[in-house]
Amino acid sequence: MRKNLLLLLLFLLSVPSSFAQYTPFYQWTLLPPAVMDEIIGESSGETAINHVIEMVGYQRNRPASEYGSADFREGKYVLDKLNEYGIAGAKIERFEGGETWDGIKGELWEIEPGRKKLADYKDIALSLADGSQPTDVTAELIWVEEGREEDFEGLDVAGKIVVTSGTVGSAHRTAVEKGAVGVVAFGSSRELTVPLAIPASGIRGENATFGFYLTPREGYQLRDRLIHGEIIKVHAVVESQMLPYELQVPTCVIPGSDPDAGEVILSAHIFEGYSKQGANDNVSGGAAIFEVARIINQLVADGRIEQPKRSIRFIWVPEFSGTIPWVSAHKDIMDKTLCNINLDMVGLHLKSNNSFFSLMRTTFGNPHYINDVMENYFVYMGEVNREILANRSNKKIANQIIAPSGTDDPFYYQVEQHYGSSDHEVFNNWTMHVPGVMLITWPDMYYHTSQDTPDKLDATQMKRAAVIAAAGAYNIASADEEMAGSIAETSFTYGSKRMGIELGRALDELKYADTESFEPTCKKVKAYLETTYKNELATLQSVDELAPNSKVLGKQLATLSASTKQLFEANSVVLDNQIELTAAKLGLKVPSYKLTELEKQASEFVPVPSEKLSTGKFGIERAVYALPKDVLEKYPFRNMANATEFCALINGKNSALDIKKMLDTQHKKESDLQSVLNYCELLRLAELIN
């Protein structure tokens, strides 16, 4: 039996179709070549970048006329263009907002010993800290190093403006408590790579005064003058106000031929607050899905591709603050949404920034084929845009996809573990459970700074981002029974690789076990294989939604699931063999894997989501923190890796022990089982689980 399992393992890992890079002469996509050619040909990196320039050609003081019931510039541009393109359902949906800070004027002048303008809001909008209050003051500057509490010791800052190499927010609170009238800062985490960039910043609190930000270059010059004893007086003038605003969500839809077949939603935030604007973060994402909408709409209208079976919806949102009310207001849409593709920072020139275009997958709490569909197009884009040594005597670059005014660089990409902090998290949230992936260029030295401007973008990267997003969305939206089978097979081949990687990880961790850690290490690494196997099975089963009544697909999924199980068993044989060898080396017996009393308790408790979750309302997790203080102290849960993923794993099937294992597989920090059980109890007391 062991021999047969090992042979199966070797066979599966040798299947050429699993890994495109092992077959340099053959690249493919799930969509037929003819459809891909239409998508690639219709896409335009230049059009996408032009959208960025029109929406945020530079970072500016947003005029007061855009607040209230008027349209924000970016939203109006989107709506006007959608109507120009003739895309269905184009409108701006509005939700209750609140009040936000609006800068009007901000100038900082040196008046002694010379006269020199140090900062001006009109020149660089981010030079005035968000939240700065109206002022007109003349005061002396004083150097306070990094602006930490201890840096103020022995200094009299009363009536003065402090200068710090820290951030304006961190120094401001301490400075005003000690009588300072304001702050000038130049701290930057990226000053060695972008020394002229000013980070987006803000000050808050009842005692807020004002803050100016200088570039590190100007900041260090000012510091040196102060350190050498020069007395510098400045005149600071700030005009600002608080204005009411609405949350505005431009949206449109490319209707599917079957209204009941479901939807795919593409999202991107074009607002991240209203004083901060950024070309790559994230008007590039908004421009890219704009281009996706134009591409698919045009191709369908021309009859060059078929109308998709499922609708493809697009939303341009204020990050989180607009996404949450939008999905909450459209539970009917959410109930039939298959998945979300979120684009956040997608246009950066990769090569000059040592950056990669990354696909951030869903977690075990949201297993779904969307990961593998998108990976298919990432791999294809990477393979066809580079010179491959094995092809040197034939076609060196298989199908170069570039924009006329863009670079001809290779496509640097990476498929990575889930990361949140963008709008796909709203879809992934346990109140929605709509699997969402994120596309992002990373690292980005300019995001959240004054230098996040269109000149940092690459038309070729914008074109490639649009092609990948359009192909992935159309692929799922148009999938029939046959395509569902192809997607399932793709999930199986990529899943085989993922299972192999977890085996390699398990074998490596086992090498470092000693006599004390051997048994817990064995338990942990065996869980890597077990949980990954369960996730791959769930991923395969998610394909069923594309053709739910298909006997053909059902048979395919059964076969692929059985093969996945055989692969898991073969991997387990390899791991068990290494455990035996390690035990012998350490002079120990192979563990019995008998459950401890706590593990037994956790294995017998299967949390079930309560009716509260079916409302689709967000923020209900805060109910845990609303519990009495003594209850929270009684059930501490700080030694748990990730509460958001913990909740996503609650599906009425996973036990508390299963959840602990799944958290450990996905996170560097190991979750304490008692913390897991404690959090379950808090969720129960908050009436979030049964």
3-state secondary structure of 439: strand
Write out pLDDT tens, residues 442-488: 999 999 999 999 999 999 999 999 999 999 999 999 999 999 999 99
* Residue 355 · residue 442 · CB < 8 Å: yes
3-state secondary structure of 45: helix
Q: What is the pTM of this model?
A: 0.95
| pLDDT (0 to 100) of residue 620 | 73
Q: Nearest to residue 276, comparing CAs of 202, 185, 214?
A: 202
Cα 267 to its chain centre, rounded Å, is: 12
Residue 20 reports pLDDT greater than 70: no
Residue 510 reports pLDDT greater than 60: yes
Residue 14 reports pLDDT greater than 90: no
* Residue 418 · residue 597 · CB < 8 Å: no
| pLDDT (0 to 100) of residue 612 | 83
What element of type H or E holds 499?
helix 481-511
**Phi-psi bin for 145: left (phi > 0), alpha (psi -120 to 50), beta?**
left
Helix axes 284-302, 33-42, angle to 10 degrees: 120
d(CA 317, CA 329): 14
The DSSP string of 154-171 is T---TTSEEEESS-HHHH
Write out pLDDT tens, residues 317-365: 999 999 999 999 999 999 999 999 999 999 999 999 999 999 999 999 9
- Maximum Cα–Cα distance for the chain, whole Å? 88
Which residues make Cβ contacts (< 8 Å) with residue 592, sequence separation at least 6?
none
| pLDDT (0 to 100) of residue 127 | 97
Domains along the chain with CATH numbers: 1-28+479-593 (no CATH), 31-88+255-477 (3.40.630.10), 101-243 (3.50.30.30), 595-690 (no CATH)
3-state secondary structure of 296: helix
The C-alpha R_g of the chain, in whole angstroms, comes to 28
* Residue 88 · residue 253 · CB < 8 Å: yes
Residue 563 reports pLDDT greater than 50: yes
At 243, phi and psi to the nearest 5? -125, 145
- According to DSSP, residue 91 is labeled E
Could you tell me the pLDDT band of residue 1, with boundaries at 50, 70 and 90?
A: very low
Could you tell me the pLDDT band of residue 21, with boundaries at 50, 70 and 90?
A: low
- Rounded to the nearest 5 degrees, what angle is found at the Cα of 487, between the Cα atoms of 409 and 401? 20
Residue 438 reports pLDDT greater than 70: yes
d(CA 163, CA 182): 9
In the 3-class helix/strand/coil scheme, how is 558-578 assigned residue by residue? HHHHHHHHHHHHHHHHHHHHH
Quote the mean pLDDT of the chain. Answer: 94
* Residue 474 · residue 308 · CB < 8 Å: yes
Mean pLDDT computed over 504-532: 97
Return the sign of the alpha-carbon dihedral for residues 194, 195, 197, 201.
Answer: positive
Mean pLDDT computed over 660-664: 98
Could you tell me the pLDDT band of residue 440, with boundaries at 50, 70 and 90?
A: very high
Write out pLDDT tens, residues 361-404: 999 999 999 999 999 999 999 999 999 888 888 778 889 999 99
d(CA 18, CA 644): 32
| pLDDT (0 to 100) of residue 616 | 63
3-state secondary structure of 35: helix
Residue 217 reports pLDDT greater than 90: yes
Cα–Cα distances in angstroms (integers) from residue 215 to residues 124, 145, 274, 281, 672, in the given order: 10, 16, 22, 20, 45
* β pairing state of 337-343 and 263-271: parallel
d(CA 185, CA 218): 10
Return the bridge partners of 315, or none. 251, 267
Cα–Cα distances in angstroms (integers) from residue 104 to residues 79, 240, 368, in the given order: 27, 5, 47
Which residues make Cβ contacts (< 8 Å) with residue 606, sequence separation at least 6?
652, 653, 654, 655, 656
3-state secondary structure of 639: coil
| pLDDT (0 to 100) of residue 15 | 42
Write out pLDDT tens, residues 247-298: 999 999 999 999 999 999 999 999 999 999 999 999 999 999 999 999 999 9
Cα–Cα distances in angstroms (integers) from residue 76 to residues 73, 91, 364, 406, in the given order: 5, 10, 38, 28
Write out pLDDT tens, residues 73-85: 999 999 999 999 9
What element of type H or E holds 105?
strand 91-112
* β pairing state of 182-185 and 211-213: parallel
Could you tell me the pLDDT band of residue 619, with boundaries at 50, 70 and 90?
A: confident
d(CA 384, CA 28): 9
Write out pLDDT tens, residues 25-72: 889 999 999 999 999 999 999 999 999 999 999 999 999 999 988 899
d(CA 434, CA 534): 19
Exposed/middle/buried for 287, CB within 10 Å: 0-12, 13-18, 19+? Answer: buried
Residue 562 reports pLDDT greater than 70: yes
Helix axes 73-85, 45-56, angle to 10 degrees: 140
| pLDDT (0 to 100) of residue 631 | 97
Mean pLDDT computed over 500-526: 97
Return the sign of the alpha-carbon dihedral for residues 648, 653, 658, 662.
Answer: negative
How many C-beta atoms lie closer than 10 Å to residue 316's C-beta? 31
d(CA 634, CA 128): 45
